[in-house]
């Protein structure tokens, strides 16, 4: 069968693509699984093509099934707009919605125009759905689906058993070839995504990853990782693992395999500070694989803040990890969670911490209850908006202790403070020359450079955040029909 897979346009108010804009690896994995069974696939990135051009491309493909990815809560309204567009341009295609957000709250997507919602890993569920559609079988017999019905959503039962990741077909990277030059992180491009493991054993209350994967962690063998990496042309690779180096022995084996392969890239990984403090030699070993940058979800500067989000870590590890990475010459980007319940004293304490540690690359996320998380279960009744676009982790959707304009003045002040610390430690001229060098070497586009350079000025003004709330009521008024019941 012919299957078109669509990546919905960007959701969210601010458009965090000024920082990172990555390929739809999930769709590539689904396409790889379907092509392994003889089906013909197409991937359309509507973020790049735009709605009109992208839907025209999909319609010309004449798909019998059209899959729409909704990975983030902020993409919900955009995903439904895609459904409407697909129904207008391809009335005979069967419409399926999947992705992380759709999986954690499938009944929300039980709406007119949608034939099925995929719950779980797309490579496990979609082949069964396509086989059933090809044979004309009832989709109620396909596990891993929620089916919109006039009488109410129909759950077809748990998705198929999760397989060893090495058994899954390779991602169909050839399906996004024309888009590849457009993907980047910070000022590095082109960028590719690489998955070496799935899942997380920790239970942070703001995260649904561990629930999605049922608290399991599955890892690809070093040999499989090298095989996938060999198919990646981009010089920059973002490793999608939720916690890299979870298995320390495997981390060393993977580094050995990469060194032996001769493949050298700039790797950006995400990991925990307690892993770095316990195994600094592993981080040092990974410098032999190429350039290395580390993203760290520090979340809080004190143990009370870590306990509040169930981080299962200690603040002492955060500071020690930064020292280790600095000593090793490894770049890092810390991220903190800003609680809507903060007063001036908490914002001031975080500024002092950044000043003392010199962590000028810090970023800030507003504590956001997302559907499918423990946090959502505990505070959903307190949420004061119905606009999913505000759930972009840069806006407050819970009541703030400070008046909202004052809360955003403090949040914007954090972003300005990091820029001030950066200029003080590295110099304004040196910072700008480094960015211009990246542009000259082709590591970043002019568009990405402009977005990145204006990030500080955009996020450093409270009006940036307040404007979204002023427009929110209009967005809610334009919302589509409620779910089928």
Q: Is the peptide bond before 2 cis (omega within 30 degrees of 0)?
A: no
Sorting pLDDT into bands at 50, 70 and 90, what band is 313? very high
- 464 closest CA partner among 420, 423, 405: 405
State the number of CA atoms in the 13 A half-sphere of 318 facing the CB: 24
Sorting pLDDT into bands at 50, 70 and 90, what band is 187? confident
- 148 closest CA partner among 192, 97, 101, 75: 97
Q: Are strands 65-69 and 265-271 parallel, antiparallel or unpaired?
A: unpaired
- The residue behind tokens 């669509």 is 6
Each residue of 63-95: pLDDT tens digit? Answer: 999 999 999 999 999 999 999 999 999 999 999
Sorting pLDDT into bands at 50, 70 and 90, what band is 480? very low
What helix, strand, coil percent values describe the chain, rounded to 5?
A: 50, 15, 35
- The residue behind tokens 């209350």 is 205
pLDDT, residue 485, reads 42
Evaluate if residue 221 carries a pLDDT over 70. yes
User: Of residues 437 and 344, which shows the higher confidence score?
Assistant: 344
Sorting pLDDT into bands at 50, 70 and 90, what band is 474? low
What residue ranges define each of the domains in the chain, with the CATH number in brackets? 2-155 (3.40.50.280), 185-297 (3.40.50), 339-485 (no CATH)
Structure tokens at 434: 């480094």
- State the CB neighbour count (10 A cutoff) for residue 161: 7
Each residue of 248-306: pLDDT tens digit? Answer: 999 999 999 999 999 999 999 999 999 999 999 999 999 999 999 999 999 999 999 99
Structure tokens at 148: 């919109």
- 451 closest CA partner among 192, 235, 182: 182
């Amino acid at each position: 069968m012919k299957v078109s897979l669509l990546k919905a346009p960007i959701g969210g108010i601010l458009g965090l693509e000024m920082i990172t804009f990555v390929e739809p690896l999930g769709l590539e994995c689904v396409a790889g699984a379907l092509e392994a069974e003889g089906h013909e696939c197409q991937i359309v990135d509507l973020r790049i093509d735009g709605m009109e051009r992208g839907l025209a491309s999909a319609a010309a493909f004449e798909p019998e099934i059209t899959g729409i990815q909704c990975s983030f809560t902020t993409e919900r309204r955009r995903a439904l707009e895609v459904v409407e567009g697909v129904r207008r341009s391809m009335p005979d295609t069967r419409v399926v919605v999947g992705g992380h957000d759709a999986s954690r709250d499938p009944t929300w997507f039980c709406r007119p125009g949608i034939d099925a919602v995929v719950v779980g890993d797309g490579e496990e569920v979609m082949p069964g759905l396509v086989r059933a559609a090809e044979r004309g079988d009832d989709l109620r017999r396909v596990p891993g689906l929620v089916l919109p019905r006039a009488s109410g959503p129909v759950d077809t039962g748990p998705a198929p058993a999760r397989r060893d990741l090495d058994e899954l077909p390779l991602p169909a990277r050839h399906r996004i070839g024309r888009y590849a030059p457009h993907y980047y992180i910070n000022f590095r491009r082109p960028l590719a995504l690489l998955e070496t493991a799935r899942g997380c054993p920790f239970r942070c209350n703001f995260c649904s990853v561990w629930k999605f994967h049922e608290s399991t962690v599955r890892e690809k063998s070093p040999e499989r990782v090298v095989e996938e990496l060999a198919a990646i042309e981009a010089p920059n690779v973002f490793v999608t693992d939720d916690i890299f180096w979870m298995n320390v022995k495997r981390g060393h084996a993977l580094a050995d395999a990469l060194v032996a392969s001769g493949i050298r890239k700039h790797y950006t990984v995400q990991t925990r500070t307690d892993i770095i403090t316990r195994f600094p030699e592993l981080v040092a070993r990974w410098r032999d694989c190429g350039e290395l940058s580390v993203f760290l979800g520090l979340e809080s500067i004190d143990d009370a803040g870590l306990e509040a989000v169930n981080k299962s870590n200690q603040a002492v590890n955060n500071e020690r990890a930064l020292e280790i990475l600095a000593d090793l010459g490894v770049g890092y980007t810390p991220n903190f969670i800003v609680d809507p319940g903060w007063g001036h004293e908490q914002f001031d304490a975080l500024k002092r911490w950044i000043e003392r540690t010199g962590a000028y690359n810090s970023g800030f996320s507003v504590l956001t209850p997302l559907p499918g998380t423990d946090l959502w279960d505990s505070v959903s009744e307190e949420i004061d908006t119905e606009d999913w676009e505000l759930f972009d982790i840069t806006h407050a959707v819970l009541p703030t202790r400070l008046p909202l304009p004052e809360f955003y003045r403090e949040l914007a002040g954090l972003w300005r403070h990091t820029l001030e610390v950066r200029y003080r430690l590295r110099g304004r001229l040196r910072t700008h020359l480094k960015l211009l060098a990246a542009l000259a070497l082709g590591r970043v586009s002019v568009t990405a450079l402009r977005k990145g350079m204006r990030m500080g000025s955009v996020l450093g003004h409270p009006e940036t955040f307040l404007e979204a709330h002023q427009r929110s009521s209009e967005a809610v008024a334009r919302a589509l029909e409620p779910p089928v019941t």
